[in-house]
Amino acid sequence: MGGLAAVAKAAGHKVTGADKAAYPPMSDQLVAQGISVTEGFDPQQLDAKPDLVVVGNVMSRGMPIVEELLIRGIPYSSGPQWLAETVLRDRWVIAVSGTHGKTTTASLVASILETCGHEPGFLIGGVPGDFGCSARLGAPPFFVIEADEYDTAFFDKRAKFLHYGPRTLVITNLEYDHADIYQDIDAIIWQFHQMLRILPGNGHLIVNADDANIARLIKMGCWTPVDTFASENAGADWRAERSADDGLKVFNGKKPVGQSEFGLSGQHNLENALAAILACRHAGVPIESALQAVASFKGVKRRLEHLGTFAGISLYDDFAHHPTAIERTLHGLAGSGRVMAVLELRSNSMKLGAHCAHLPDALKPADHAWVFRPDDIQWSLEDTLKGMDSVSIRDSVDSIVADVVAASQAGDAVVVMSNGDFQGIHARLRDALLHKASGGV
């Protein structure tokens, strides 16, 4: 919603907003753009008589401001609908969808296009280092969007991505998620099937060759040319490998196409980069040019973002909150000393227990992990993590900070994983580690 606000302001509208406990980097971005945000959802905010209220999907029937909106008859729209009708109608939309890797892949697409002389608009669920903002209006023809399958609004329960009308579509992978919205993986695949039904025949679909759920999806019906990608599947149309100097090497079938430097760790990021290169190829960017652009990519805030080294300990911030993403993040840090993980179970799916059976395996790559217990969790952390001596369960951020500082030593990597602000734990860990480095206790 903050990104939409930025796009709306750039399009010439006067924009204000309301939210609860906005936190960086989005809160900083809104301040920098001069967009005022009111704390909370008081119905009196509607006294300003807005021409249109763009309603986020956190809003629900029964909330006083929603009921007042309907009673007063003020025009309203969902964010995806407003974007589609106001901005995307005349654009070549490149949409990046899937359970994991959307933000990094979409950021790579936007960065490649920018480096290659275009000025793409974009709306991304993170802040790409190459741009310093999560959204911009840009210039035609291209608009890059992170296409989320979460539902649209209280009055529109379709997946958000069904509004976007992409010409180029990437599907990174498909797993069960959003347990508060979808009953099972079949319900999620059905939403993706609806998107394939409206993907034009002159468009392009770029999908992960190693994903069984994507294979099921394609069999349900596809009317658009398809390219498959992978990092290990030799049968994929396109394949990515690590080069001898730890860069990125691209193959078309078995034929090497080119290579470049690449600063992101992890096998999954090779696939993200290849998917982005293929999306830009459909938009007319030669692979050689895309590879050159990938070499200068600066990453994304909160996607294994290195916050600094304190007392010889490297501190990272990562958005991982699904077991697969947690495991990939931890594997991405392997080989650089001990890996210490700090995890907040904040997503609705995690709190409901949709992924609890997979959590132990996800945490195994860490030398030690601390898991913060949320107040409203609906399953037993102790039962799920029983027998894992390398995992500690804690009820307060203060106790986690104290434990991490006491247990960590020079050469360790500490990674904080959360899709929220985690009560400011990043700054608290930094300050505590600096105090430790100065000889404090």
Q: What is the CATH number of the domain that holds 191?
A: 3.40.1190.10
CB 201 within 8 A of CB 252: no
- Per-residue pLDDT tens digits for 118-138: 999 999 988 898 998 899 999
Bridge pairing between strands 255-260 and 248-252 = antiparallel
pLDDT at 441: 52
pLDDT at 91: 97
> Considering only 31-35, 93-97, 108-112, 334-338, which range has the smallest mean pLDDT?
334-338
At which of 294, 329, 363 does a domain end?
A: 294
Question: Sign of torsion, CA 42 44 48 51?
Answer: positive
CATH number at residue 46: 3.40.50.720
- Per-residue pLDDT tens digits for 10-57: 999 999 999 987 777 778 888 888 898 999 999 999 999 999 999 998
Q: Is residue 246 situated within a structural domain?
A: yes
pLDDT at 171: 98
327 and 277 share one domain: no
- Per-residue pLDDT tens digits for 355-395: 888 899 999 999 999 999 888 888 888 888 988 989 999 99
Q: What is the span of the domain harbouring residue 39?
A: 2-79
399 and 314 share one domain: yes
Is residue 148 predicted with pLDDT exceeding 70? yes
Q: Which of 10, 70, 29, 12 is nearest to 46 (CA)?
A: 70
Q: Is residue 386 situated within a structural domain?
A: yes
Average model confidence (pLDDT) across the chain: 92
At which of 267, 294, 321 does a domain end?
A: 294
- Per-residue pLDDT tens digits for 62-78: 999 999 999 999 999 99
Q: Is residue 300 situated within a structural domain?
A: no
User: Total structural domains in the chain?
Assistant: 3
Bridge pairing between strands 151-153 and 135-136 = unpaired
At which of 294, 319, 349 does a domain end?
A: 294
348 and 414 share one domain: yes
pLDDT band at 104 (very low <50, low <70, confident <90, very high): very high
Separation in Å, CA 385 to CA 180, 235, 321, 324 = 23, 38, 16, 17
* In the block, residue with structure tokens 């079949």: 186
* Spatial distance between the Cα atoms of 42 and 39, rounded to a whole number of angstroms: 9
pLDDT at 233: 84
14 and 135 share one domain: no
